[in-house]
Amino acid sequence: MSNGNAPDPSVDPGARFAETSLNERNRRVQRLYQMLFLMMTVLLILPVAAIVAMLVYKGGSVFSIDFLFTSPTDGMRAGGIFPALFGTIWLVTVALIASVPLGVAAAIYLSEYAPDNWFTRAINLAIINLAGVPSIVHALFGVGAFVLAFGFGTSILSASLTLAIMTLPVVIVASRESLQSVPMAFREACWNMGATRWQTIRVVVLPNAMSGILTGVILQISRTVGETAPIMFTGAVFFTPYLPQDVFDQTMALALHLFVVATQVPGVPEDLPYGVALVLIGMVLLLNSTAIAFRMYLRGKKKW
């Protein structure tokens, strides 16, 4: 017989912690949802793996050092893709130089300086609408603004600026969200020490938000490399025997080259378009992997 709060010695101690039917049912439900989410993740990965496998299988035969570092020959039916690869690097680099500083500056204003009024809300609405504009519309804007109005002609500069305008919303949104994720206590501590708003942003907020800003840059690179319509009308050409020397030259590009050899040139070997697509995917993966590695390095230095 038990006294007060003392446990009853007649009751098996293990029975007090025995699993009930409710616990067992909850565990089954949890396992079911875990398997469901795992299947959804696998379904997302499988198409990507299948695409890469198909490109490697059908385009691997043409992939070589000569393919990467020689020019097309025989009317695009043979040879390599070096002018297109070199031109794509030009386009991506100039687009990043044009869009990242402008996008981060806009994000800093919207996150750190802008009051909550109709003007700020109008800017946010414009950014959202700009993100939904089709790429062909951006191409026509690039022709009207950069090729004709500014007089840049069909050039790397016109094509890159068009790509920069098209990808600005991605950079702005990702940078703003990253800036807003920095704890307000960091800012208040700096202000209490006498730091100005800009000093706080430059020394504390931006370094802690850099990993998130790089997320926007990664998304921009992925979209910039694969776009065809904006560069087709503003700076990329079917073929040129010369490599571009400055931003006012025209250039070949991998995305346009893939479109041309896959649809416009008769008698192209079947494995050639797949080889070009394999290089294009590989370039995207290489650039993204580099940016992701740098982002992980910066994220590892965070103190919060």
The pLDDT score that the predictor gives to residue 143 is: 94
The answer as to whether 151 is a domain residue is: yes
What span, in angstroms and rounded, lies between the C-alpha atoms of 180 and 98?
23
Answer yes or no: are the C-beta atoms of 216 and 175 closer than 8 Å. Answer: yes
The answer as to whether 92 is a domain residue is: yes
The CATH number for 122's domain is: 1.10.3720.10
Q: Report the phi/psi class of residue 152: left, alpha or beta, with left for phi > 0 and alpha for psi in -120 to 50.
A: alpha
The pLDDT score that the predictor gives to residue 40 is: 92
Residue range 74-97, pLDDT digits in tens: 888 888 899 999 999 999 999 999
DSSP string for residues in 70-99: S-EETTTTEE--HHHHHHHHHHHHHHHHHH
Could you tell me the two tokens for 40?
């959804």
Stretch (H or E) spanning 48: helix 21-59
Answer yes or no: are the C-beta atoms of 76 and 260 closer than 8 Å. Answer: yes
The answer as to whether 16 is a domain residue is: no
Residue range 191-248, pLDDT digits in tens: 888 888 899 998 889 888 888 888 888 888 888 888 888 999 999 888 887 889 999 9
Average pLDDT over the chain, rounded to whole? 86
Calculate the alpha carbon distances from 207 to 167, 174, 201, 302 in Å.
23, 15, 9, 9
Domain count within the chain: 1
pLDDT exceeds cutoff 80 at 19: no
Supply the range of the domain harboring residue 187: 65-71+80-300
- Report pTM: 0.83
How many residues are there in the chain? 304
Residue 12: pLDDT band with limits 50, 70, 90: low
Question: pLDDT above 70 covers what percent of the chain?
Answer: 92
The pLDDT score that the predictor gives to residue 105 is: 93
Query: What is the Cα 34 distance to its own chain's centre?
Result: 28
